[in-house]
Chains A and B, each alone.
Chain A
Amino acid sequence: MQNLGDFKLPQFFNYPPYFTLQPVRETRDKQVQLWKEMILDYCRTQKIYVIGLEEDFPLFTNHVIERSLSHEARQAFLSALVSDGRAEWMDKSHRKCLILWHGVQDWADLILHFVKENGLEDSVMTVEEIRTGTESRGTELHGMDRTLLMRALKLLERKGKLVIFKGNFGRR
């Protein structure tokens, strides 16, 4: 079985027809399902937040069997993730896709948990500190996508759990 870095590729990845969108409904459903699972798994383990449809995303091409997903197929698989609530289009033309292996709510919970664990209630932190600071090292928040982090923070702000300052960001 092939590996991609430390990611163990599923066997269907080596079966050429899985790189062509299947015309028959049932077969296609199964195909989409397998791709969705693989994309989520891969992004979760490799900490990938954004997939660009026109970029060289490692899963979209299998050099061993010389197959690569068409633009249509890429869009189909990611759209399926979007309708599951596991991804969001970042632009109207569907060129970039934010992958949510944790939903925004889950990320928000992770932030609250992180703050409590580190006794940071009632303190001020910058967004960059959360993403790259020493406190977050070793947690899932470390190296988190900025857009996604902002989304989670805004969700918390709406719930009155923190306040975002202009220029400087704070939390309570």
Chain B
Amino acid sequence: MRRRPGIGGLQNAAAARDQFRALGDNVAKLRTDLMKEQLSTFRSQLEDFARKHKNDIRKNPAFRSQFHEMCAKVGVDPLASNKGFWAELLGIGDFYYELGVQIVDICLATRPLNGGLINLEELCKLLRQRRKTAREAVSEDDCLRAISKLKVLGSGFEVISVGKRKLVRSVPTELNKDHNEILELAQVQGFVTVEEVERRLTWSSGRAIDALDSLLDEGLAMIDDGHRDGKRRYWFPCVSSISSFVGTDTL
């Protein structure tokens, strides 16, 4: 458009701008409406789907986890509230709250033995033993979801990754990088020696002993002087494959 001088030119330009804006608004509104419509269709489809596969969602952990994933993608959180459509439809909120309570119980009961750090696998195993009578199967994914809900309690429940494994922490201890590396190393055999830590992580002996001592103090490690070679071993109940070395009846 050629710029023309004078008031008429300015008025023309302003009018054109207004028209463009109106058009733009219109297009944007159309798009939003369309999106909204699509989303609401999707939601209602999702609800239909949930209704239809209610039993699968309840009973099949793999199905449940996929369902959660799908929900997350459209911004629906079936766990956000215990009230409302989702909870009523699926009873899914209750399921996770129940899991959460049982997880807290198990963590507290095993704390004297593992210092408040427990292998996720082990936790699931204990959880399953405890829920023997319940019909629904429980997957690790379910555990993780239940734990993420526990975070609102602010009691320091957290899942940390050490090496390949996931550990659930129920004490507010901060594990620093050194501790994590030792735990990772310990996953191989369930224990480490000072020598091994020095060699594998190329640490000074002071650093290794320091880190091991603080793990001992936290109750996360136990010493073992009984081996034939006379070298002190540090065992970590939280990573040991020896499953629940407390009778399940005490839990």
Contact = CB atoms under 8 A, between A and B. Distances in A.
A44 interface: no
Given A14-B242, A14-B245, A20 B226 contact: yes
A19 B224 contact: yes
Contacts of A10: 245-247
B245 A15 contact: yes
B113 interface: yes
A127 B225 CA distance: 46
B228 A23 contact: no
Most buried by A among B224, B228, B242: B224
A22 B222 contact: yes
Contacts of B219: 24, 26-27
Contacts of A18: 222
A67 B227 CA distance: 7
A122 to B, nearest CB: 46
A66 B224 CA distance: 12
A30 B115 CA distance: 11
A26 to B, nearest CB: 5
Nearest to A14: B242
Size bin of chain B's contact surface: 20 to 34
Contacts, number: 64
A30 B247 CA distance: 14
Size bin of chain A's contact surface: 20 to 34
A16 B224 contact: yes
Contact of A66 (B115, B228, B240, B246): B228
Contacts of B245: 10-12, 14-15
Nearest to A18: B222
Contact of B235 (A15, A23, A68): A15
A17 B243 CA distance: 15
B226 A15 contact: no
B50 interface: no
Interface in A55-106: 66-68
Contact of B226 (A19, A22, A23): A19
B112 interface: yes
Given A15-B235, A17-B233, A24 B217 contact: yes
Interface in B95-148: 112-113, 115
B216 interface: yes
B226 A67 contact: yes
A11 B112 contact: no
A7 to B, nearest CB: 13
A19 B226 CA distance: 7
A19 B222 CA distance: 10
A68 to B, nearest CB: 7
A26 B227 contact: no
B242 A20 contact: no
Nearest to B225: A20
Given A11-B244, A20-B224, A26 B112 contact: yes
Interface in B214-241: 216-217, 219, 222-228, 233, 235, 237, 240
Given A10-B246, A23-B223, A27-B222, A16 B235 contact: yes
Given A12-B113, A16-B227, A67-B226, 14 more contacts: A10-B247, A11-B243, A15-B240, A15-B242, A15-B245, A16-B191, A18-B222, A20-B224, A20-B226, A23-B216, A24-B217, A27-B222, A66-B227, A67-B224
Interface of A: 10-12, 14-20, 22-24, 26-27, 29-31, 34, 66-68
11 contacts: A11-B245, A15-B235, A15-B237, A17-B223, A17-B224, A19-B226, A22-B222, A27-B222, A30-B112, A31-B222, A67-B226
